[in-house]
Structure 1
Amino acid sequence: MDSNSLSHCLEVVASSGCVLTLEERTALQTSLVILKKNYKFQRVLFWGKILGLQQDYFVAQGRGEDEMRDRKSLYSLNCLDWLLLPSVTDAMVEEVSKSAQGRFRGDPSFVYEHKVSKQEEKVYKVTEEKRLAVTVHQIDEEASVVPRGAFIRSPSGPVQINRSFGGLSESEAKRLENFMHFRESKNLPREKQQKAEWTPAIDFLDVLSEDIPKGSWSLQFECARRVCVLRSLLWLGLTFCHVPMTPQHGYVYIGLGMKNRDLPFML
């Protein structure tokens, strides 16, 4: 969620358990402004909070001219001092998947180790900082949400905020097909591209209604039915909100940083 509307957005998603203390909010509102200036970001978002056994990780995301490609994630243990997370590679994802298990500890330098087998000498080692980077990346890939039309892709390629987006109507906000993953498209069926209402400039993202397994999102209207709220059942703690007929929208993750792998058996 955009740092400029942090307080209001956190009030909206508070019913989902996504809460920060007054001290954390105050520190974030100050430090995110400084973060934006120091790194020369065009805008900064508060991404969320991953709960650790010793300390919690606060995560922010800076955006550049291209909202999708010019993204950098940073973390803090005190809401004041921020460090860049390393770029995620396929090798790093594999290392984390094989070695890092259980709750986050809250120590970026902690090293997870996993020996493949007694016969082999190969040992996977990965720091918790790398695990944090991979987890943020995976949540963004599988649960980041934007309303249809909120972003536009220009003919030259960059993805930017659609300044003419006035929000979904209340009837549109009731349909999961009007919400999209904010990532590079992985599955854009040709038959959809042939539909009359398909617009290349805004329909370049995958819709949530195509997610597998079906039923991995909960959609409700809250706050006297004025706010549309989406919750991920795959990444418990990810909450998205949108106020229909306004451009206001955003998501935040506050949770353990652990994927709900039992979801297919729960539906």
Structure 2
Amino acid sequence: MDINRIQTSLNCLSYSGYLLNNEQCVILKNALLILQKENYLKKIFFWGQILGLDNDYFIAYGYEHDALNGLIYYYSTNCIKWGLMPTVTKNARRLTEMCSTRFQGDPTLQIDVSLDVQLKQDTVEDKGNQQTEDVKQGDSGNMLKEEDRLAATVEAISLDTAVVPRGALFKRPDGSVVENLTFAGLTVLEGRQLKSYLHLRKPQEKWVTNLLTRLDYNYALDFLDSVDKDIPEGL
């Protein structure tokens, strides 16, 4: 969410029961403005909050030039000191999928995923679970740092849930993606259609998918995957 509209955006999510108080909102907004200035970011957004046992993680992201390929993620446990989110590795993605324990709130914590997998294996009848065959207790390759787990979790959530309205981003001839300054929002009719919303991620579908399904196709606007192509369908 845009930091300039953070209070309004949080009010729209008040039905969920998870909110930031006024003090946290003020601290968060000021901290993100400082973070944006120190890192020379063109825009910065508040991604959300991941709850932990000891501390919660506050996630933010921004970009310098490219609004799609240049996204940079940051995290903090106190809304004051921010750390750069590490690059997600293939091993971190694999171990994160197996890890089911709650976040502790300590980025330096080392998690032995083999113990977590063994605990789950003992609670099911199928002892030959395919997911646990590759995990051996005590193997150093099964140690997962909570900071890496946090990065992999944020990536997984963003890939599936981050969406933008069609027309909000514009792809230049040189391939860079920028904010469309002429975008004034969707009409009421467009807002009711799933094809009016696009995934904020690198395209995974073939580039001709939108070309074959949209009569008003515009490559500068329709370069992202449409939500209406998701399986299962979201209503």
TM-score class, shorter? 0.7 to 0.9
Identify unmatched segments of 5+ residues in structure 2: 115-134
Number of aligned positions between the proteins: 214
Q: Does 1:36 align with 2:36?
A: yes
Q: Which has the higher strand share?
A: 1
Corresponding residue number in structure 1 for 2:90: 90
Task: Report 1 or 2 for greater relative contact order, CA contacts < 8 Å, sequence distance ≥ 6.
Answer: 1
> TM-score w.r.t. structure 2 length?
0.85
Q: Does 1:199 align with 2:206?
A: no
Cα distance in 2 for partners of 1:66, 1:167 equals 21
Residues 143-187 of structure 1, C-alpha deviations (whole Å, 9 max, x = no match): 101001110111101111000101000111111111111001111
Superposed counterparts of 1:133-172, under 5 Å: 133-172=151-190
Q: List 4+ stretches of structure 1 deviating above 4 A.
A: 120-123
CA apart distance, 1:92: 2.3
Corresponding residue number in structure 2 for 1:132: 150
CA apart distance, 1:18: 4.5
1:67 match: secondary structure: coil
CA apart distance, 1:192: 3.1
Cα distance in 1 for partners of 2:140, 2:9 equals 46
1:68 match: secondary structure: coil
1:47 match: secondary structure: strand
Superposed counterparts of 1:1-267, under 5 Å: 1-98=1-98, 100-115=99-114, 116-117=135-136, 121=139, 123-188=141-206, 190=208, 192-194=210-212, 195-215=214-234
Residues 197-244 of structure 1, C-alpha deviations (whole Å, 9 max, x = no match): 1110000111111111123x5xxxxxxxxxxxxxxxxxxxxxxxxxxx
CA apart distance, 1:123: 4.6
CA apart distance, 1:138: 0.9
1:74 match: secondary structure: strand
CA apart distance, 1:191: 5.1
Cα distance in 2 for partners of 1:191, 1:127 equals 39
Amino acid at match of 2:113: H
Larger Rg over CA atoms: 2
Question: Is residue 114–residue 123 contact of structure 1 (8 Å, CA) maintained in 2?
Answer: no
Question: Is residue 149–residue 202 contact of structure 1 (8 Å, CA) maintained in 2?
Answer: yes
Question: Is residue 188–residue 205 contact of structure 1 (8 Å, CA) maintained in 2?
Answer: no
- Structural RMSD (CA): 1.8
CA apart distance, 1:97: 2.6
Cα–Cα, structure 1 residues 82 and 3, in superposed 2: closer, same or farther, change >3 Å?
same
Question: Is residue 210–residue 222 contact of structure 2 (8 Å, CA) maintained in 1?
Answer: no
CA apart distance, 1:86: 0.3
Question: Is residue 164–residue 200 contact of structure 2 (8 Å, CA) maintained in 1?
Answer: yes
Question: Is residue 207–residue 223 contact of structure 2 (8 Å, CA) maintained in 1?
Answer: no
> TM-score w.r.t. structure 1 length?
0.75
Identify unmatched segments of 5+ residues in structure 1: 218-267
Cα distance in 2 for partners of 1:25, 1:19 equals 10
